């Protein structure tokens, strides 16, 4: 039972007109600690009870069973509840210390499956910051859902199909150089792609050829398939290097091409349900009744299928193979029209699970306040940027802790963690400005700041030579530790909310908050001072470290013991 529920239950005992659930909704968290931990405003009762709120508050105080609280005060129209700090701290510390890393683990998912479509870069194109966001957010959501008892399937829906591969084949056959592609696959392939897109204006025949090559590819032509496979393999070598740096894994790399032979079924199903209409030679599904102006284009006049056709096949395949409770797509906000169409077509097809398809949208990342644009040279090249973050982390570690044994490893955890954390701490729909200086700083609301708080605690525990006893009788009643205790107690609820809203930023903000409160504690309290409270203070440290590490873990960020 949460604290709120407990308080509500106590109030309900003396206020038979209201049930606990509606009391919970009225309870407020006071801004100031001297107004208690929870406050119950009596304004709304004045009418039914025909009494002034002040009078109600003071009568309630008299009637309440106050034994479970430090005190309960009536202040004007409010009832202020002060929790029993000593007792609560003992309970919370026991819970965290006995659960250890599994503190916060819940069974809300009951083993059901959640498919997370994430990262999904395009073959022969650079891995963009948008793909980085999707990778990092998707991975964190997977951790969060696992923590509340779901099984997750992380799918990399590679953009490895479409007419652009026809164009790329034409370009490669005209100007390609095998050795150059092998040396620098994505940048060489991108050059070819950019060039053919420029030259096609003067050479409309390229377009025809590209169409023909893509058709060959769709029909399994040997040469076309071999070239496509090669482009794909070479691109994946680069992508996999990034995934390795980020320490992110996938359960499936079934991209768009995987659904090539599953497209006919979609056309058949749509035909059977009489949903296809012809429009200028193409096959479309009208979605006006969903308030969607543009029909979904399913098949072009030349017979080629589209992005959405493949997404329909993918959705069906995932439902059948993973029997998902939710299918989550972590993709930029600029694709929301696409996902609206996708859901609407699934609804038209009478799949009752269309509501379980969720577009987890994200905002744009800018640099120096400007939109990123390859053309304008405002780009973030991911691999060198990650290396730069790691080397800046190393510089800071070298000045703070020159004797650290595994500096390189820690610098990697800090540099990569800094980029991930910064991405995850902003509400996903808000973009952010990509600024390495801010991200890698040990000060401010950053990953390194939280990691440092965790490492600081580990160092205190080493110095004290303290191992907490899960059965120990720990108790703290001071104001600084109380703030920490309340956060520790709230961690499971934050995990739940982060899952409900598909919002890892809730965990990131929680981690910052906990680290800040710990640092305040560290500044105010002599933790190692030898007196009766010392074991309790150290137990608080140990529990805080456990939860910080666990929160960072949910974000896919490591927590080194020393840094
Ligand atoms: N490849 C696409 C892109 O880079 C993202 C794919 C997202 N997933 C999906 N099932 N549509 O824009």
Q: Would the pLDDT of 379 be above 90?
A: no
Q: Say how far apart CA 81 and CA 83 lie, in whole Å.
A: 6
| pLDDT value of residue 372 | 87
Q: Would the pLDDT of 269 be above 90?
A: yes
Q: Please state, rounded to an integer, the average pLDDT across all residues of the chain.
A: 95
Q: Give the H or E element holding residue 234.
A: helix 222-246
- Centroid of ligand 1 to alpha carbon of 175 (angstroms): 29
Q: What is the CATH number of the domain that holds 23?
A: 3.30.1360.70
- Centroid of ligand 1 to alpha carbon of 331 (angstroms): 7
Residue 78 included in any domain: yes
| pLDDT value of residue 173 | 96
Question: Within 13 A of 196's CA, how many CA atoms are on the CB side?
Answer: 25
Dump pLDDT digits (tens) for 386-429. 999 999 999 999 999 999 999 999 999 999 999 999 999 999 99
| pLDDT value of residue 303 | 84
Tokens representing 86 are 């000593």
| pLDDT value of residue 17 | 81
| pLDDT value of residue 71 | 94
Query: Residue of the nearest CA to atom 4 in ligand 1?
Result: 121
- Centroid of ligand 1 to alpha carbon of 37 (angstroms): 46
Tokens representing 140 are 């964190």
Residue 409 included in any domain: no
CB 433 within 8 A of CB 369: yes
Dump pLDDT digits (tens) for 88-141. 999 999 999 999 999 999 999 999 999 999 999 999 998 999 999 999 999 999
Q: What is the band of 251 on the pLDDT scale with cuts at 50, 70, 90?
A: very high
CB 244 within 8 A of CB 255: no
Q: How confident is the model over 495-501, as a mean pLDDT?
A: 98
Residue 443 included in any domain: no
| pLDDT value of residue 302 | 83
Residue 514 included in any domain: no
| pLDDT value of residue 48 | 84
Residue 39 included in any domain: yes
Q: How confident is the model over 7-32, as a mean pLDDT?
A: 91
Q: Would the pLDDT of 229 be above 80?
A: yes
- Centroid of ligand 1 to alpha carbon of 363 (angstroms): 15
Beta bridge partners of 279: 282
Q: What is the band of 438 on the pLDDT scale with cuts at 50, 70, 90?
A: very high
| pLDDT value of residue 155 | 98
Tokens representing 51 are 């009494």
- Centroid of ligand 1 to alpha carbon of 401 (angstroms): 43
Helix axes 222-246, 407-425, angle to 10 degrees: 100
Domains: count for the chain: 1
Residue 329 in contact with ligand 1 by CB distance below 6 A:
yes
Ligand 1, atom nearest to 335 Cα: 12
Q: What is the band of 555 on the pLDDT scale with cuts at 50, 70, 90?
A: very high
Q: Say how far apart CA 295 and CA 289 lie, in whole Å.
A: 11
Q: Give the H or E element holding residue 151.
A: strand 151-155
292 burial type by CB count under 10 A (0-12 exposed, 13-18 middle, 19+ buried) = middle
Residue 285 included in any domain: no
| pLDDT value of residue 121 | 97
Residue 163 in contact with ligand 1 by CB distance below 6 A:
no
| pLDDT value of residue 33 | 84
Instruction: State which residues form the domain around 31.
Output: 3-83
E strand residue ranges, 316-394:
324-332, 357-362, 365-367, 370-371
Residue 55 included in any domain: yes
Q: Would the pLDDT of 165 be above 80?
A: yes
DSSP 507-524: HHHHHHHHHHHHHHHHHH
Higher per-residue pLDDT: 471 or 252: 252
| pLDDT value of residue 496 | 97
Beta bridge partners of 433: 366
Residue 311 in contact with ligand 1 by CB distance below 6 A:
yes
Q: Say how far apart CA 445 and CA 51 lie, in whole Å.
A: 47
Q: Would the pLDDT of 375 be above 80?
A: no
> How far is CA 432 from its chain centroid?
15
Q: Would the pLDDT of 57 be above 90?
A: yes
Q: Which of 144, 105, 42 is nearest to 498 (CA)?
A: 144
Query: Residue of the nearest CA to atom 1 in ligand 1?
Result: 159
Tokens representing 469 are 């006893």
Residue 351 included in any domain: no
């Amino acid at each position: 039972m949460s604290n709120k529920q407990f308080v509500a239950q106590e109030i309900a005992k003396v206020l038979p007109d209201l049930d606990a659930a509606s009391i919970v909704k009225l309870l407020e968290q006071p801004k100031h600690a001297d107004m208690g931990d929870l406050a119950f405003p009596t304004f709304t009762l004045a009418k039914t009870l025909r009494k002034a709120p002040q009078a109600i508050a003071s009568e309630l105080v008299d009637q309440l069973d106050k034994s479970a609280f430090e005190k309960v005060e009536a202040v004007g129209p409010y009832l202020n509840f002060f929790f029993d700090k000593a007792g609560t701290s003992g309970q919370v510390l026991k819970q965290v210390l006995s659960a250890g890393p599994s503190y916060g683990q819940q069974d809300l998912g009951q083993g059901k499956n959640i498919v997370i479509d994430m990262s999904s870069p395009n073959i022969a194109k650079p891995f963009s910051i948008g793909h980085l966001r999707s990778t990092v957010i998707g991975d964190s959501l997977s951790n969060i859902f696992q923590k509340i008892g779901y099984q997750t399937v992380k799918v990399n829906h590679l953009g490895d199909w479409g007419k652009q591969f026809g164009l790329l084949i034409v370009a490669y056959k005209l100007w390609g150089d095998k050795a150059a592609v092998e040396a620098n696959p994505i940048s060489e392939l991108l050059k070819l792609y950019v060039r053919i897109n420029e030259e096609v204006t003067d050479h409309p025949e390229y377009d025809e050829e590209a169409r023909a090559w893509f058709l060959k590819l769709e029909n399994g032509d040997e040469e076309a398939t071999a070239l496509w496979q090669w482009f794909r393999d070479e691109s994946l070598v680069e992508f996999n290097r990034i995934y390795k740096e980020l320490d992110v894994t996938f359960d499936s790399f079934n991209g768009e091409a995987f659904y090539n032979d599953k497209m006919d079924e979609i056309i058949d199903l749509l035909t059977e349900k009489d949903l296809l209409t012809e429009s200028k030679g193409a096959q479309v599904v009208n979605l006006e009744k969903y308030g969607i102006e543009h029909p979904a284009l399913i098949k072009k006049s030349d017979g080629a299928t589209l992005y959405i056709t493949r997404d329909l096949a993918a959705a069906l395949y995932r439902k059948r193979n993973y029997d998902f409770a939710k299918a989550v797509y972590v993709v930029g906000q600029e694709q929301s029209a696409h996902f609206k169409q996708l859901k609407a077509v699934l609804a038209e097809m009478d799949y009752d699970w269309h509501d379980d398809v969720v577009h987890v949208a994200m905002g744009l990342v800018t640099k120096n306040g400007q939109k990123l644009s390859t053309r304008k040279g405002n780009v973030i090249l991911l691999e060198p940027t990650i290396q730069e973050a790691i080397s800046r982390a190393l510089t800071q570690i070298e000045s703070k802790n020159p004797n650290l044994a595994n500096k390189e490893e820690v610098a990697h955890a800090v540099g990569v963690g800094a980029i991930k954390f910064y991405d995850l701490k902003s509400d996903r729909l808000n973009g952010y400005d990509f600024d390495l200086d801010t991200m890698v700083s040990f000060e401010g609301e950053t990953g390194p700041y939280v990691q440092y708080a965790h490492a600081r605690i580990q160092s205190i525990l080493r110095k004290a030579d303290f191992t907490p006893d899960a059965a120990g009788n720990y108790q703290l009643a001071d104001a600084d530790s109380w703030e920490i205790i309340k956060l520790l107690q709230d961690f499971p609820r934050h995990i739940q909310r982060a899952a409900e809203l598909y919002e890892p930023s809730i965990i990131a903000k929680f981690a910052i908050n906990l680290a800040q409160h710990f640092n305040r504690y560290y500044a105010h309290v002599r933790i190692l001072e030898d007196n009766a409270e010392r074991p309790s203070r150290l137990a608080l440290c140990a529990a805080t470290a456990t939860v910080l590490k666990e929160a960072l873990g949910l974000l896919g960020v490591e927590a080194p013991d020393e840094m």
